[in-house]
Chain A
Amino acid sequence: MRERRLTARPVGLDSGQLLLICAAGMLTVAGIAHTAAEGLTDPRVAIGFGVLIAAGELARLTMPGNREVAPISTAASLGYALLLDVGGRPAQHSALQVVAVMSVGMIAGGLPHLAVGRPPRLDALARRLLAGSLLAFAYRPLTGPLGELARDTADRHGNWWPALGVMAVLVTVMLAADVVIAAMHRAGQVRTAFGVAVRDEIRMAAPLGAAVGASGILLALASHSMDMTALPAFAAPLLVTQVAFRKYAGIRATYLQTVRALSRVTEVGGYVEPGHSRRVSQLSVAIGRELGMAEPQLLELEYAALMHDIGQLSLRDPIPGGATVLADPAQARRIAELGAEVIRKTGVLHGVAEIVRRQCDTLGESPPMASRVIKAANAYDDLVSGSTDRDRAAAALERLRLDGGSAYDPGVVEAMTRVVDRLVLVTRL
């Protein structure tokens, strides 16, 4: 039961998310109402872009860290918001029409997913809509002067540079705003520090954001000379990007699942108690977040925590109960060494191997932070062994704190206390 509580994301939406979704909902209603009242300007273009947005939503994907993205949809929204003219005819649609086309496209593209039981992440959807709308509201009023410059008849082909500059600046600002919203949301959701969350989001969003932004501008400009042929043609470079990212996200997810699954061999072999590796890894990641670790470090920490007992496979007989905190230190060190040896054989997870190897080090040997976290989390789980009893948790924490001076890092134990308190609070509620 406890395990479930540790993993479960807050099922309800927090207030920030609700605000986001309400804002997006109101925008949608306003956009659709306005467009219905005024009539659709240039319906052919609107439908073309709407279809592209829907197709992009259909092909949405989940990036590492459970982030839902829809690159083609976002790029098409940007393109529609930035449109100056289509085949030489000025594009005169309003910002509210952009909102309406985006919302209808997103809803249409989300329906097939919904039909097979994969509801969209409402907050991610709302973020995409809001980002596109912000851009539209900022840019649409400028289309008049920019369009005149671009179609200036004095020059044979007009002057497109001011338009390009404005587009680039606004898209950058929009992407930055999106990152900040995403980071705020993430900081609330997984309780990580805001600064760390911003850096994590930038690391994740920068490459894809650059590709999407460039494609959006490309689409807006290509529509001038290529007319509607631009829509299918533009999809080609972005489709390649999308395929590459889908593969990347897929292997990342599989990797994590596999390490999580195979870490259970120690349980099946009777070396540790059922659920031990999983609990230690969850507790470790929570502590790591509390200590302000960034996502790449957290991933290493999680792998190391999942595999911290893998060295036991090389033992002749399982230690009774698998309680390594009670085993003699020399043997614990040997297990750590053997485990690191196994992980080093992968040839890639050197950082993880090092963390596992030094998980028994005392503070005097100044082990890496991740090793200290695993040592404390492991000891805690050995003492409590998955029980949800508050007194037992308090006793275990007390014991670690008493040892804190020499064996366990006091800072780590402090962070663990906060994490465990929070969990106990959740349990009580």
Chain B
Amino acid sequence: MRELPWPARVYFVALVGTAGLVIARGLLVHQGLVAEDWSALLVLALLFLLCESVPTLLNVPHVAVSVSFSAALAAVVLVGPEGAALVGLAAVVSVRPGLPMVKRLFNGAQYALCGYAAGWAYESAGGRADLPEPADFPGILVPYAAATVVFVAVNFALTAVILRLASAVHKDQVSLRAMVQFLSSYVGFATFGLLIAALWSTVQSISALLVLLPLFVARWALGHYHAEQRAYDATIAALCQAVETKDYYTRGHCTRVSAASSMIAEEIGMGTERLRAIRYAGMLHDVGKLGVPTKVLQKDGRLTEEEYAAIQLHPMRGLEIVRGIDFLDEAFAGIMHHHERHDGKGYPMGLAGSEIPEFARIIAVADAFDSMTSDRSYRKAKSIEFAVAELRKNAGTQFAPDMVCAFVKALDRYGWDLAQPVPVPPDDSAVETTVKDHDDPTTPIQVVSER
């Protein structure tokens, strides 16, 4: 409390006071709560508490919406504004260890006001606070929608004000996608509330169980999904690193290319699904390198055309390996064509300009950048400035200019975690070093012309 600035403190006291007044007035003046209402309120308040205590039932990024909202709205229909306010008040005693009293009071007061306002809206729009009868449907949808909108609006406004007052931080711009997700989850939760209220006339409190059981199962499945997703990311990274252990100097290359590729992709505004795909494409782009004989990579001096052909084959080898992974789809093209050049002199197909798949253009830039900014056996790492200048110089010949541009912008905004300097490997160790890096645009591979 003390650490809050004074406007926030005034706001807080006003909010709690108003909530107290509203509830007291509702209870004293109306005296409309009969025994049946109290038992319903008790169950709904318990439900509210249960849901409030597990706030991230559905993972919507940025906003923690909880199903507690449904319980408050069910109370609006079953008991009326005072009931909804009381159910909201239950947030004060939610089971979230470590939550300070100030926040508890704020949440309780805030939800009580939201509930009361929603109840008022419900009755103003012609709703009747009682057990819904079959004849009420579908007419009840109008006042119910009004209650939902008012609840969300009041909730949003009260929270936004305290956030602004307390921290004076501007919230990040919430993207349209997040907003849509946010609103649709509110609509979903509102539906649950209506279901609970509608079922109350048949099986009372069991209705909450029937509505929430599928949701808890969904939560369980989502939890498993997130765990599997994390495991998957870790596994794919570990396997790619295992492929890299072959070459002492390129360790960590795949993770960094993956990071740089997603920076570019984000900068040019790719959607979530494609972002995910390019993250994996960047990670997997060089798995085919294992097919290049070590002696070719370790050979000093010029390569014969045959040896160079072996290097040129590695994108195809990579594709061959990952082809069995269904969801990658667009990433396949990225892996296969990541050594094409803008001027058409690349490999394996010699595509040029816009013929090169977007993923491949992105990975090409990320790949070359990381190669230049990390140590190699034949040179030290170059600076970021040098690498950017090199990318700019080769934009239009080797690299797609728009991707270079996007990458430079993203670098300015987010910076770059440089590859760790690699200590010179001890002579007696079994590590392998190569004297060629096919990704390095500053030292192109020399090929002996046989013609």
Contact = CB atoms under 8 A, between A and B. Distances in A.
Contacts of B240: 262
A253 B229 CA distance: 11
A374 B198 CA distance: 57
Interface string B280-294: 000000011011001
Given A237-B215, A241-B217, A258-B236, A225 B58 contact: no
Interface string A331-360: 000000000001101111100000000000
A343 B238 contact: yes
Contacts of A217: 210
A236 B232 contact: no
Interface residues of B, number: 68
Given A214-B214, A218-B211, A265-B290, 9 more contacts: A157-B131, A207-B217, A218-B210, A225-B133, A251-B225, A253-B326, A261-B322, A265-B243, A317-B294
Contacts of B133: 225
Interface centre among A208, A227, A243, A265 (most CB of B within 10 A): A265
Interface string B240-279: 1111011000000000000000000000000000000000
Contact of A348 (B218, B234, B294, B321): B234
A243 B60 CA distance: 13
Bin the interface of chain A by size: 35 or more
Given A157-B202, A222-B198, A268-B290, A248 B221 contact: yes
B327 A241 contact: no
> Chain A: interface secondary structure?
helix
A310 B246 CA distance: 12
A85 B181 CA distance: 35
A225 B240 CA distance: 57
B221 A244 contact: yes
Interface centre among B209, B225, B241 (most CB of A within 10 A): B225
B324 A313 contact: no
B420 interface: no
Contacts of A157: 131, 201-202
Contact of A248 (B132, B138, B202, B224): B224
Interface of B: 58, 131-134, 137-138, 141, 188, 191-192, 194-195, 198-199, 201-203, 206-207, 209-215, 217-222, 224-225, 228-232, 234-243, 245-246, 287-288, 290-291, 294, 317, 320-327, 430, 432
Across chains A and B, which 6 residue pairs bring their CB atoms closest together, nearest first? A269-B290, A244-B221, A211-B217, A214-B213, A211-B214, A348-B231
> Chain B: interface secondary structure?
helix
B250 to A, nearest CB: 13
A79 B306 CA distance: 69
Contacts of B432: 316
B336 to A, nearest CB: 15
Given A87-B134, A208-B217, A257-B324, A164 B235 contact: no
Contact of B232 (A254, A261, A265, A317): A254
B210 A214 contact: yes
Given A214-B210, A233-B191, A261 B321 contact: yes
B253 to A, nearest CB: 15
Given A241-B214, A268-B288, A342 B242 contact: yes
Contacts of A261: 321-325
Interface string A260-282: 11101100111000000000000
Interface of A: 87-88, 150, 157-158, 160-161, 164, 207-208, 210-212, 214-215, 217-218, 221-222, 224-227, 229-230, 233-234, 236-241, 243-245, 247-248, 250-255, 257-262, 264-265, 268-270, 310, 313-314, 316-317, 342-343, 345-349
A383 to B, nearest CB: 26
B214 A237 contact: yes
A234 B194 CA distance: 10
